[in-house]
Chains A and B, each alone.
Chain A
Amino acid sequence: MNMNASSNSSVSVRDLTLSFGATNVLQNLNLEVAEGEFIVLLGPSGCGKSTLLNCLAGLLELTKGQIWIKGKNVTWAEPSERGIGMVFQSYALYPQMTVRGNMSFGLKIAGMPKDQIEQRVQRASEILQIGPLLDRKPGALSGGQRQRVAIGRALVREVDVFLFDEPLSNLDAKLRSELRVELKRLHNRLKNTMIYVTHDQIEALTLADRIAIMRGGIIQQLDEPHTIYNRPANLFVAGFIGSPAMNFIKGATINGGKAFQSGEINLDLSGYEGGAIMDRPKAIIGLRPEHITIVDTAIPGQTIPAVVEIDEPMGADSLVWLLVDGRQMSVRVPFEHRPKAGAQVHLKVDIAKSSLFDETNELRI
């Protein structure tokens, strides 16, 4: 027994390294997932998020480290012995079997009595509302129905941990948002631990209790969605989360960290929520498009002069693109308040909601 195993931890990944030849796909990765938690692994393609999930499922052998599920070391256990259920992007339903056959396949292999299997299939199909489909084959189902069946196949296992590998990525936009809500409802009802891989930040922000942002096989930040959004730990996270992306202005902090300067721009940093700013010759300020307002007159220390280039109406809002010192910035404003192209305006910055980064180590100050 490992004495470090925290009692309320459902899934625990310790110093996990996975190498293919000389390349480390995952590097000394540590992750503690609490009982009943919904964790989303988010990152660009090739960041190692799916690889990590496959390691958890036992479908990939890791090079170094340990995986614990429910207080048991499952590092070398077979996928079926780990107490996990998995849902795949391509549904991965067995085409020659009916929906019922698909859902009961694993239980049959485990040698469960028939009536018990039927009971579990019934219960899962009620939860997912796929009762009328039980005798159909996957080929006769729509994409949304197939993914429901795939979730059902994981559900009947009655396991503690569900692993989702981009389950909604093959669906069209409308279905995706419907199933997203349904997944959240399912989690509220079942209270299982769920680990969910996606590259879609909306899914991550809406579903997760905590998001792990990954890049290059390393977890960049593991935090609640709100914190990830408002207090990104480094430049990568700041640029990755949020659409349209955060605006970055390169400059320096001066006067012992009381102000940010970049050419003509001079911003008062009092009210900044973060660490000790100090004087840093290379600093970057990050401003989200929705945290900037457009005003007509300059306020010393609070505004940035800009010229309106174009605007993109997005329904309720309009995304305005402006030129600041020859560089592009975007600001989200209510549709009625969008300025005319070519207008000279001033951008009022909310320092409390901004993020400062040290350019040398790319970390948030």
Chain B
Amino acid sequence: MEVGMLPISASKRGKLLSTGYTTLLSISRASLADLARDLQVSEDEASEIMKCASKTSTLDLSTGTHTTTVVNGGQTAWAMLNEEKFSLHITTSCVDLDNILCGGINCKEVTEIGGVPGIGKTQIGIQLAVNVQIPPEYGGLGGKAIYIDTEGSFMVERVLQIAEACIEDMSEYSNHFRKDFQASEVKMHPNNILENIFYFRVCSYTEQIALVNYLDKFITEHKDVKIIIIDSVTFHFRQDFDDMALRTRLLSAMALKLMKLASKFCLAVVLLNQVTTKHIDGSFQLTLALGDSWSHSCTNRIILFWNGNDRHAFIDKSPSLKSASAQYSVTPKGIRNSTSCKRIKMM
């Protein structure tokens, strides 16, 4: 029944049904006074119900041209193509990794990165928080970062190291490619980079959910945030959760909110995940934590793993990227190309 879908309270819905208003059409045809009298509610409440009903019924008539959409809020695929062509990417500082990601981490999407302890998830998170701040003159976004730390693995000393290395790389780049400007100094200082990373320390799953709810307001106040990193999204949901069904519901609600944030503010959301073992086909295999239902929640999924002595990243799931793996390494300067390949690539 259509009335069952209205976002109004259960008692109001019950009243509508019991007095015979079972379809949205019947509500829109009734007059305000009739509705108020039948339901025995005030005229204000009745007008609210009518507003709800008319918003939900999508009976927009097209104006006759082919470019308008029939359903409110929709967008044609052609319009989206233009948007996607110009969508922004955040570099990971490793050329091979950027290549398999077609430029870097996509804005407007939720990317999940998971791996065993010690593989470099936090390193990638910190590298992205620094790289989002690269100014547009050097090919970056010039934005700010939000780093949500649930495990306490954010070490400021490391952020400083990576920030200093990033500025060094930028001055090297400007020395090579912009010789026409006389010794153009990169005007950024590592402290500027640290200043643009907003850090939140979350101590329970309640705080995590509350923070994701609050981010909408926070980002409206800080419009230049371009990346949200949650390190790690798993930690608090793995401890003392007896009701697994509740956990799944909360996680999917949280993932939906993050997706909305990503598309509303055109920013990238990166979720770092842990691993667990699962018994498949008679043997134990590694898989990302939080279960099968969670694996549907993210747009892209990258798994970091050891292959011999090298770190690799594999695109496990993506609607637009090809399934491929790339090698990367963690150096004192941050994430960089793997040193075992003999090619030298300029930034």
* Chains A and B come from one and the same complex: no
- CB within 8 Å of B: which residues of A? none
